[in-house]
Every structure is written in structure tokens, then in C-alpha cells.
Amino acid sequence: MAEVKLEESWRTRLEPTFQTEWFQKLRAFLKEEMAAGATIYPPGPRIFAALDSTPFDKVRAVVLGQDPYHGPGQAHGLSFSVPAGIPKPPSLVNIHTEYNTDLGFPIPKHGSLEPWSKNGVLLLNTCLTVRAGQPLSHQNQGWEKFTDRIVELLAARPEPMVFILWGLSARKKTERVNLSRHGVIASVHPSPLSSYRGFFGSKPFSKANDFLVKAGQPPIDWRLGE
């Protein structure tokens, strides 16, 4: 993990977590995967890209998903996002559809959600790595504890923020959030397998801004361009 890039405000706060026995086991698991020739997504330097893109004190909203995309070239460390030029996965197509319906902004041609990460939205997955072609292959190896800690650190901040939780694994993080201070917007995952059971029509983006404004915080600029 030495080559992993991590923004200083996160590195300082997570340093005790990196020293825990369970995180050392997670590191060993990832090394074993790579030694066995497994392809891991995202690439090593991008594993902590969500944290690196949105410093701790800049976070005003968290979009939390399941685990990274498992196809070639898709995962770049930001949940639900793909690099510009990569075809949109079905979940992202559905997110863009809800984005358009909710906010009225045009659906972008690209699949990058980097503008959100630069505007205070932490694009986090419950698990930060995955084996190529095998969704949930790195489940129950320690990443869930790690992302629990991230949510706990954010939830301890006095400034109100909003947690947008998509899918069962993400919704489990609700118990880590002080609901008297912060907002939670939870729904099924935007995957085509579940999106029609409550993701479409959930209006997560406008609801997030409504919460922030009522809490005396500036709204998120959700625009992604065209």
C-alpha cells in the first residue's frame, strides 16, 4: 500500500486505523491476491482516490455504494464514476436518469463524476477493491470496517452533512450516523436489478440540498456538464 496516494487530512486521521491488526490482515489479503496473479480494480494508486479527491474538511455529502466496477478500465476510485471515454455502466446510466429527472440538468455524455468530488461530495464504496470480473469478491476482508471508520469520523464533525446510501451494504452505515445532526437519504441500489424498486423517483440530489440549506449549509453544485 506504500504507493497509494492519500490526501494528508485523511492520512492523519486514519493513521491509527492503518496500524490495526485487522487492517494489516486486509493488506496481506491484497498482497496475496496480487501475488496469485489476480487483477485488482481500481489500480493501486487509485484505491483511495475518493479520499484524495475530497479532503476531510471539504466533505458536505457522501454518496456510498457497494464495491468498485469490475470491468477493464472502469473503476478509478470514485464510486459509480468511470473515466471520461469509458462507456457508462448500467448503474451510472440510471444515476444520470434520476439526476436529469430530479434536477433537470442534461444527461452528460461522459461517465465521470469527478465534478461532484471537487464540490464536496465524497464518492465512497463500502469495499474499496474488487477482483476483475467478480463483484463482491473482496467483501468481508476488512474494507467494511475501514469505511465504517470513515463514516464515523465524518459523522463526528459538528457541521451537518448528508449521507446518500445506495444499496443494502451502504444502508447499513446508517447506524454510524448521528441522525440528530446529519441527514440520511437511503434507497435501493441504482443497478437495473433494483432501481425500479425505489431508486427512480427518490430525488436524492434535491433532497440532499434541501437538507443542507435547512441546516444552514451551502447546497451542492451537482452539475456535471454535457
Measured between alpha carbons, how far is residue 148 from residues 7, 43, 125, 144, 221 in Å?
Answer: 19, 22, 11, 6, 26
pLDDT of residue 99: 98
In this predicted structure, what is the pLDDT of residue 4?
A: 61
User: pLDDT value at position 24?
Assistant: 95
Strand-pair category, 40-41 with 183-187: unpaired
In the numeric block, the cell 474494507 is attached to: 143
The 3-state DSSP class for residue 170 equals helix
Residue ranges in the chain modelled with pLDDT below 50:
1-2
Does the pTM surpass 0.85? The reply is: yes
pLDDT of 43 = 92
Per the CB < 8 A criterion, the answer to whether 88 and 96 are in contact is yes
DSSP helix/strand/coil, 36: coil
pLDDT, residue 19, reads 93
Report the catalytic residues. Answer: 67
Rounded-to-5 percentages of helix, strand, coil across the chain: 40, 10, 50
Which runs of E-coded beta strand occur in the chain?
Answer: 40-41, 61-65, 121-125, 130-131, 162-166, 183-187
Task: Give the chain's largest Cα–Cα span.
Answer: 51
Residues paired with 125 in a beta bridge: 65
Strand 40-41 and strand 130-131: the pairing is antiparallel
C-alpha distances in Å from residue 61, one per residue of 1, 155, 192, 204: 27, 11, 24, 11
Q: Per the structure block, which three cell numbers stand in for 140?
A: 468481508
